[in-house]
A and B are shown apart, each in its own frame.
Chain A
């Protein structure tokens, strides 16, 4: 608990906010050029779509509905552009 109290100290709290922002930009910029993964859509679907809730089978929605649902999940689950693209293609191919 003492650690937590220290964290709330004004100085620490400011330092923490600043380092948070710095870490975040370092990550974003640092990895912006990181190589694309070669995982296929089916694998990405299995890895990502059952983390929070049961996976919904491809047949449960139409192509247009999957476009919206995967866009929704891209924002909610912080999927990368590549993950979202491959997953939506996989879902559309299987419905």
Chain B
């Protein structure tokens, strides 16, 4: 707790020591953004389902240095409408190289969450395994509640970007009563969005040994520390490394000392090729999570999980025909590996292919096919699904 207080005090002093209104006239400006979407999911052996979501984004700036960003999420669910505060953050550009943010923000170490998850940006209706509460077990937070410092620096033709944060961090799920091997549905999980999900609706799976990223109120006094450095050797390519270290055990339990450590590697590459008459877009992320093995109770195995995805998209921008110009082809492979010996040990891999038609820069119709293989201890099962999505960003 003390570390956190210190950071808070430091941050306040820094804020006060600056002249907040030094640049330009303090005119309030407001922008309403966000996105909406509708899905139709047809899974093998299941009834076809329609889904709908509306995520308005509110942005206020009082000058060129201070911005408030907030996103709400509305979704239809079990005969009602669910609401969530996706993020709400005050950002202050302290100087050329340092931007300070406080509140609930998209996790800068989870590039998929921070940059690619909105339905009008994500090139497939579904999200990769392991990166959100919507695809079963989650290995990295979608959002953080705390403070962050971030920025970018040009170095000749190359560029470095960075983000560091201190946050509540995740909490350890322990379910001593569970004998089903499936875990209970966790409450208050941290969804970064609501598109094309599988297995579990809004809440992730709270089996023992997994982490809960919707950790409010914090289950212990220790704060998580994390960050990411990205490097752009050329403007088209960014490679990044992110990490998080946190104590996740709940105070006053036998697991209170348990810590987690997360490593994330990411890559994105976007380039127009006249030889291919279009644009190539490659995205990938590898996430590795280790939770300590205290060797007691329900936690007595090496608790290491990993997830990764790679996605390739091509849009023939430069073709004459305006119909073909607006088409985009996408393939993605993703995989989730859970620890052997864990209560919940279903490894998954999935291949997805899709064709999108862009009505304008941020309005898209997506058709996708997904084939998901689940590997249980001694058998495996493959299921396929067709997903259709209409998404609009505004």
Contact = CB atoms under 8 A, between A and B. Distances in A.
Interface string A11-39: 00100110011011001100110110100
Interface residues of B, number: 56
B290 A5 contact: yes
Contacts of A23: 229
Contact of A68 (B59, B93, B96, B270): B59
Interface in B376-394: 393
Given A54-B358, A68-B67, A81 B96 contact: yes
Nearest to A23: B229
B154 A28 contact: no
Contact of B304 (A1, A20, A31): A1
SS of A interface (majority): helix
Contacts of A71: 59, 61, 64, 67
Contact of B162 (A5, A27, A53, A55): A27
What 7 A-B pairs are tightest by C-beta distance, nearest first? A78-B152, A78-B161, A47-B235, A68-B31, A54-B361, A8-B261, A53-B121
Interface of B: 29-31, 33, 59-61, 64, 67, 69, 91, 93, 96-99, 101, 114-116, 120-121, 150-156, 159-164, 225, 227, 229-230, 235-236, 238, 243, 245, 261, 263, 268, 270, 279, 288, 290, 304, 358, 361-362, 393
26 contacts: A5-B304, A17-B225, A17-B245, A20-B227, A24-B227, A27-B155, A27-B162, A28-B151, A31-B160, A48-B235, A51-B235, A54-B362, A55-B361, A60-B361, A65-B29, A65-B31, A67-B29, A67-B64, A68-B59, A68-B60, A69-B31, A69-B59, A72-B59, A76-B115, A78-B230, A82-B154
